[in-house]
Amino acid sequence: AAANLQKSLVRALSDNGDLPEINAKTLHSLLGINISGKNHLRKPIKADLLLIDECSMIDANLMSKLFASITPGMRVILLGDPHQLPPIESGLVFGDLIKQANR
């Protein structure tokens, strides 16, 4: 899915040569997490803007790792539908964030 998104972004933005580099990755790849769930690199993410899709599927542990990797001044956009697929592990962080924002 990340490779297809990358191709679509490059194709859609090819006429705008002055845009910065755009990279599409899975969240696990971005955070350096291997298939066993280990090896979080604990390095800050180097980006001006971070767009995360399908946030309803992110569990509390993964969201914690994501938030710990965000650098000051970075803009973060979380997208998703809180009524879609829930995370496999514990924590409905995205749904809770939506509830807090709507208070």
Q: Give residue-wise pLDDT tens across range 6-62.
A: 788 777 777 766 667 778 888 988 888 877 656 656 678 888 989 998 999 999 999
Question: What are residue 96's phi and psi, to 5 degrees?
Answer: -65, -40
- CA–CA–CA angle 31, 51, 88 (5° rounding): 60
> In angstroms, how far is CA 2 from the centroid of its own chain?
11
Whole-model pTM? 0.77
Q: Give residue-wise pLDDT tens across range 61-80.
A: 999 999 999 999 999 999 99
| DSSP reduced 3-state for 100 | helix
Residue 95 CA to residue 56 CA, distance in Å, equals 7
